[in-house]
Structure 1
Amino acid sequence: MAFRTAQSTTLNLNNAALVVIDMQQQFRDTAADLCPTLTPLIGQFISLNKPVIFTQHGHDLSSDNSELVRWWGKNGSIRRYSPAWQLMPEIESLASVTAPNIHKLTNKDRYDAFLHTDLEAILRNAKISTVVITGTMTNLCCETTARSAFNRDFRVYFPTDGNATLTAEMHEASVLNLQYGFAQITTIDDLRRALE
Structure 2
Amino acid sequence: MASSVKSALLVIDMQNFFTTMTEAALPRIQTLIRHFSSNNLPVIFTQHGHDETDLSGPPYPNQLVRKWGPEGSIHLGSKDWELQAPIKKLIKEEFGIDVQIVRKNTYDAFINTDLDERLKGMRVERAVVCGCMTDCCVDTTARGAFNRGWETWLVKDACGSASKSQHEAGLKGFGFAFGEVMTTEDVIKHI
Q: Supply the distance in 2 between the matched residues of 1:11 and 1:49 (Cα, whole angstroms).
A: 14
Provide the TM-score with structure 1 as the length reference.
0.88
Match in the other structure for 1:30: 21
* 8 Å CA contact retained: 2:129, 2:142: yes
Could you tell me how far 1:93 is from its partner in structure 2? 1.9
% of aligned pairs identical?
A: 37
Match of 2:96 in 1: 98
Q: Which runs of 5+ in 2 are unaligned?
A: 55-60
How large is the Cα RMSD of the aligned pairs?
1.6
1:11 CA displacement: 7.6
Q: Name 2:133's counterpart in structure 1.
A: 137
Counterpart secondary structure, 2:46:
strand
> Could you give the per-residue CA deviations for residues 22-69 of structure 1, whole angstroms, max 9, x where no partner exists?
000000011122111210110110111100000100001x21121110
Distance in 1, matches of 2:48 and 2:68, equals: 14
Does 1:189 find its partner at 2:185?
A: yes
Q: Structure 1 74/11 Cα, relative in aligned 2: closer, same or farther at 3 Å?
A: farther
Total equivalences in the alignment: 183
Equivalence map 1:140-151=2 (5 Å): 140-151=136-147
Q: What residue ranges of structure 1 are gaps of 5+ in the alignment?
A: 1-9
Q: Deviations over 1:91-115 (max 9, x none)?
A: 1123342375x4111x210000011
Hey, what does 2:122 align to over in structure 1? 126
The yes-or-no answer on 1:70 pairing with 2:61 is no
Q: What secondary structure sits across from 2:131 in the alignment?
A: strand
Shift of 1:133: 0.6
Structure 1 residue ranges, 4+ long, deviating more than 3 angstroms after superposition:
10-13
1:83 aligned partner:
79
